[in-house]
Structure 1
Amino acid sequence: MSEKQIWLVTGAGRGMGTDIAKAALAAGHTVVATGRSIERVAGAVGDHDDLLVVPLDVTDTTSVRAAIDTTVSRLGRIDVVVNNAGNFKAGFFEEITPDDFRAQVETVLFGSVNVVRAVLPVMRSQRSGLLVQISSTAGINGGEFLTAYAAAKFGVEGWFESLAPEVAPFGIRTLLVEPGFFRTELLTPESTDFARSTISDYAQRTDETVAQWQSMNGKQGGDPAKLAAALLQLVGQDPKVTRWPAGADAVGTFEQKAASLLADADAHRELSSHLDHDDT
């Protein structure tokens, strides 16, 4: 993928989105950097001759459609879409309000769905394209305090894995990126919303868990700029890759999950293998 391409990046105003936009520009591509605030996006990515900044709110289908239409009218095509926009609503399940739980899924899952639904007709007409979905190791392995976030990310994983064979006949590829812990703004107050402690049974664990998450902010091991550079290298070198654990901790999560699934498969193999009708 050495030829100049049109990259559209959502959530480019901060975090990985900013670094991916910069890496794509550095690689010689044209970048459409999007976000809810074009001033923030422009300030984060900086000036560049090959940069187009466009407003896009992934939860607003009208905004999404307008961003795609603007890109095609100005640049003629879209070669790569990076679905990166997201947020983090953390807390024990009973303490996350139903509205917040739905809002988490709305942004992380349906926001990405909105973007892909709008761009697929463009890529089908081109008979080419790459859809990059920034997921998370929380979409591979759930954990306490992550019920809403993991539900959204697990949904992303299942949707994207199922989408891949549907669009492959049109020359459209998909890539799931599952980062571990990277030093982005995800744990800042702007991106993270901790559920209010309302149930005494959870109170101590809530206080301890929130303090633990907050103490990690700015100390995560992963470098998002290195992830962005590696992503550009990966998609340029390996056209067959469909899932990428990003970070040493992500590789460990994959290995742990694979071992756990194999252990589950073996645990009651005899019982599980004799559930067919007797006449089959």
Structure 2
Amino acid sequence: MAQTVLITGCRSGFGTALALAFADAGWNVAATMREPNRAPADLSDRDDIAVLRLDVTDTDSIAEAVAATQERFGPLDAVVNAAGFVVQGTLEELALDDLRSQFETNVIGTAALVQAVLPGMRERRHGHILTFSSGAGLVGMPRIEAYAASKFAVEGMSESLQRSVDHLGVKVTIVEPGVFSTELGNSVVTPKNPVADYDPSAAQAADLYDWTPGDLAGAARAIASVAGESDAPLRLYVGHGLDDVRRHYRNRLDEWQSREDLTSTTLGEH
């Protein structure tokens, strides 16, 4: 019997590629988006894909999409939190409402979907929650403080969740994509009052990370291949940039070690 997955953010980019990859792998797919009337024809023309409305900032629409998926295909075996957008700007440039909106979609929206599906997964002792982080959730990039903060939050929330649900037969995977050619850049929110003094900071980006676009269809297939697996990884990196991430983590270890003598003064008597 085919397994069932619900995927958010399927109107374009990763969401569309994931819906097709899961369907090609034999899954029943609920491809959700805020405006189903704008769904790609590739999704609408398949019997194994149901295009449904879901806005991660609207808990009623989440409940309706989950119910519609279960009515058509049966219980959910997996969910993929792929919806998200980017707010640009340094902290000084950011409007706090944009920062709140960034977290409302990327973090609170993810939590809302997990809350909607976790009771059923817990009851069945079966399920897989896959949530998109980003290379910016691993390496702090200049001038995207809000986006990086939201993805670092997703990392922590998902890692903690994995430790909470593993004994219940529910798996958690954090998908960490590098750069891909998608429509994500088309929805970027930019500062209304940019500060020119920060312009030079953007020059760091080229040395921080590999910005070569990856293979979107290949990444979607890789993600679908681990979904539902009993040995699914907590973290799955896709695309270019993993060597840069390793470099930044080595730098963190080196920095801790460089001040380990100072750290030792904070341990107290034993």
- TM-score over 0.5 for the pair: yes
User: Following TM superposition, by how much is the alpha carbon of 1:273 offset from its aligned partner in structure 2, in angstroms?
Assistant: 2.0
Q: Residues 32-47 of structure 1: matches in 2 within 5 Å?
A: 32-41=30-39, 43=41, 45-47=43-45
1:201 match? 197
| Deviation sequence 1:157-207 (CA, Å, 0-9, x none) | 00000000111111100000111101111112xx211112343534x559x
| Deviation sequence 1:11-40 (CA, Å, 0-9, x none) | 011110000000011111100000101112
1:177 match? 175
1:112 match? 110
User: Following TM superposition, by how much is the alpha carbon of 1:233 offset from its aligned partner in structure 2, in angstroms?
Assistant: 2.5
Q: Secondary structure at the match of 1:194?
A: coil
2:10 match? 12
Match of 1:263 among 242, 254, 259: 254
| Deviation sequence 1:93-125 (CA, Å, 0-9, x none) | 211101001111111111111100111011112
What amino acid sits opposite 1:243 in the alignment?
R
Match of 2:265 among 249, 252, 274: 274
1:229 match? 221
Give yes or no for contact 1:42–1:53 (8 Å, CA) kept in 2. Answer: no
Identity of aligned residues (%): 37
Q: Residues 101-180 of structure 1: matches in 2 within 5 Å?
A: 101-180=99-178
User: Following TM superposition, by how much is the alpha carbon of 1:277 offset from its aligned partner in structure 2, in angstroms?
Assistant: 2.6
Match of 1:242 among 221, 227, 234: 234
Give yes or no for contact 1:7–1:32 (8 Å, CA) kept in 2. Answer: yes
User: Following TM superposition, by how much is the alpha carbon of 1:236 offset from its aligned partner in structure 2, in angstroms?
Assistant: 6.4
Alignment gaps of 5+ in structure 2: none
1:216 match? none
What amino acid sits opposite 2:247 in the alignment?
Q
1:258 & 1:57 partners in 2: Cα distance? 35
Give yes or no for contact 1:136–1:177 (8 Å, CA) kept in 2. Answer: yes
What amino acid sits opposite 2:237 in the alignment?
P
1:231 & 1:166 partners in 2: Cα distance? 22
What amino acid sits opposite 2:262 in the alignment?
L
Alignment gaps of 5+ in structure 1: 214-218
Q: Secondary structure at the match of 2:141?
A: coil
CA RMSD of aligned residues (A): 2.1
How many aligned positions are there?
Answer: 265
Match of 1:64 among 62, 65, 90: 62
User: Following TM superposition, by how much is the alpha carbon of 1:237 offset from its aligned partner in structure 2, in angstroms?
Assistant: 6.3
What amino acid sits opposite 2:221 in the alignment?
A
2:82 & 2:90 partners in 1: Cα distance? 25
Given the superposition, is the C-alpha separation of residues 237 and 168 from structure 1 closer, same or farther in structure 2, using an over 3 Å criterion? closer
What amino acid sits opposite 2:133 in the alignment?
S
